[in-house]
Amino acid sequence: MSEHQKETAFLRQCILYDNSAERVGLEDRISRVQRDGLCLRRAMWLMALLAAMALACLGYGLIFVENVFYNTPQLIIAIICAVGVGSLFCLLVFLGLGIAYRNNLDQRREECRHLVTRLLESRLGKPVAAPLRDDHLSNGNHGAVPVVAGGNGFLDRAELIVRG
């Protein structure tokens, strides 16, 4: 499973905690895009297989059959060439469609992130502390800086971050 698929599965699991109609619609749209993407990948494999078979037929004829273009009916050679070129063209179109599906899935994932953020804010409230920026970690000598690791404002444990 790729990182993209793992993140999508995690986001889908996170939105299950929301009981709104928006979650149901978003989950349906994600499922539809993933199903269409899987169907598209299968079609791409079929087109690649057809292109390879057409290439193998022409290669076999050129290597093992003497005077293949003169002894074989032109209709058969034309059909093999048409299947090969058509499948290559379909592969290019399917590649563009796959990019469009990936962009669509990325948009759905962004909607998931917004939904999860709203869900967490409604259940836990707004975040209290802003994240530390890199320029706040300096103490002037570019050495070790103590950073609070606890999230409650108390010094539970301190770690040293060595700036490199």
Please write the tens of the pLDDT for every residue from 62-85. 787 777 777 778 898 899 999 999
Assigned token pair, 156 = 């539970």
- List Cβ<8 Å contacts ≥24 apart for 101-108: 101/33, 101/36, 101/37, 101/40, 102/37, 104/33, 105/8, 105/30, 105/33, 105/34, 105/37, 108/26, 108/29, 108/30, 108/33
Beta bridge partners of 146: 160
Q: Check residue 157 and give its pLDDT.
A: 40
pTM, 2 dp = 0.66
Instruction: Please state, as a whole number, how many other Cβ atoms lie within 10 Å of the Cβ of residue 17.
Output: 12
| Domain positions in the chain | 3-127, 129-164
**pLDDT class for 99, splitting at 50, 70, 90?**
very high
